[in-house]
């Protein structure tokens, strides 16, 4: 490919550099597909079309790459979820708001972002120091959920016998678990999100009496 570089400046460079972002994109995809362990710097480099040593021009260590990906991953879900909730007025039905938040989280994981799915996939496999570096960003997203749930519970829409922190851990844990088995050929993300909302909001028991 790319026989000779351009002689004139006007022609956009033929061999455009991969660069920091290109490396991150490729690494995020590999991490999502294969997990943390099997993805070496040489694999990342090869997939990006460069050599392993070259990565150190953009990053100081492998951990630095992973930390960057983990952070971008959470920021992506966080933003999607925040905006989905914001689209509802303050007085909107609790069920509708929760549905939107669940849907946004699942879409970010399963549709939109390699970074988000990579985060969920490899967070438990990564060295402690890397996890620690990611904690503040993570806590911010958790706080967003806690705020939402607390508000809805205060408004009387949520049962009062469940601890908010525990409820959030249950919810996000359940949603993240879909990454292990969801197959787009067996159903849409939309339908999945709808089912999750149904189950979490109303349960699976047939209601006979109240």
Question: Which parts of this chain interact with DNA (CB under 7 A)?
Answer: 4-6, 9, 13-15, 17-19, 22, 38-43, 45, 49-58, 60-63
- Report in angstroms how near the CB of residue 60 gets to a second copy at its nearest: 22
Among 20, 25, 35, 46, binds a second copy (CB under 8 A): 35
- Rounded to whole angstroms, the Cα distance separating 93 from 81 reads 17
Q: 66, 184, 78, 80: which is closest to 124 by C-alpha?
A: 66
Kindly indicate which of the ranges 25-33, 58-66, 104-112, 197-205 contains the residues binding a second copy, using the contact rule CB under 8 A. 197-205
- 149 vs 34, 91, 117, 160, 167, CA distance in Å? 34, 14, 24, 11, 9
Report the distance separating Cα 15 and Cα 12, nearest Å.
Answer: 9
Which phi and psi angles does 68 have, rounded to 5°?
Answer: -60, -45
- 91 contributes a contact to a second copy by CB under 8 A: no
For 156, the token pair is 């009387």
* Cβ nearer to DNA, comparing 64 with 79: 64
Work out which of 16, 89, 156, 185 binds a second copy, going by CB under 8 A.
Answer: 156
User: Which residues here bind a second copy, judged by CB under 8 A?
Assistant: 35-37, 94-95, 121, 124-125, 156-163, 166-167, 169-170, 173-174, 176-178, 180-181, 187, 192, 195-196, 198-207, 210
């Amino acid at each position: 490919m790319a026989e000779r570089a351009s002689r004139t400046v006007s022609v956009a460079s033929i061999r455009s550099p991969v660069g920091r972002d290109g490396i991150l994109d490729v690494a995020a995809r590999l991490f999502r597909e294969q997990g943390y362990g099997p993805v070496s710097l040489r694999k990342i480099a090869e997939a990006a079309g460069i050599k392993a040593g070259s990565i150190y021009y953009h990053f100081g260590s492998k951990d630095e790459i992973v930390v960057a990906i983990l952070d971008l991953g959470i920021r992506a879900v966080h933003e999607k979820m925040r905006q989905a909730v914001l689209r509802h007025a303050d007085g909107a039905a609790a069920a509708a708001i929760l549905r939107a938040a669940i849907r946004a989280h699942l879409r970010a994981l399963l549709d939109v972002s390699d970074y988000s799915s990579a985060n969920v996939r490899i967070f438990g496999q990564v060295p402690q120091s890397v996890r620690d570096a990611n904690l503040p960003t993570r806590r911010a997203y958790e706080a967003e959920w806690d705020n939402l749930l607390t508000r809805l519970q205060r408004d009387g829409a949520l049962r009062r016998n469940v601890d908010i922190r525990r409820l959030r851990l249950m919810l996000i844990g359940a949603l993240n678990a879909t990454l292990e088995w969801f197959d787009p050929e067996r159903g849409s993300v939309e339908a999945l999100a709808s089912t999750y909302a149904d189950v979490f909001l109303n349960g699976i028991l047939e209601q006979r009496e109240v």
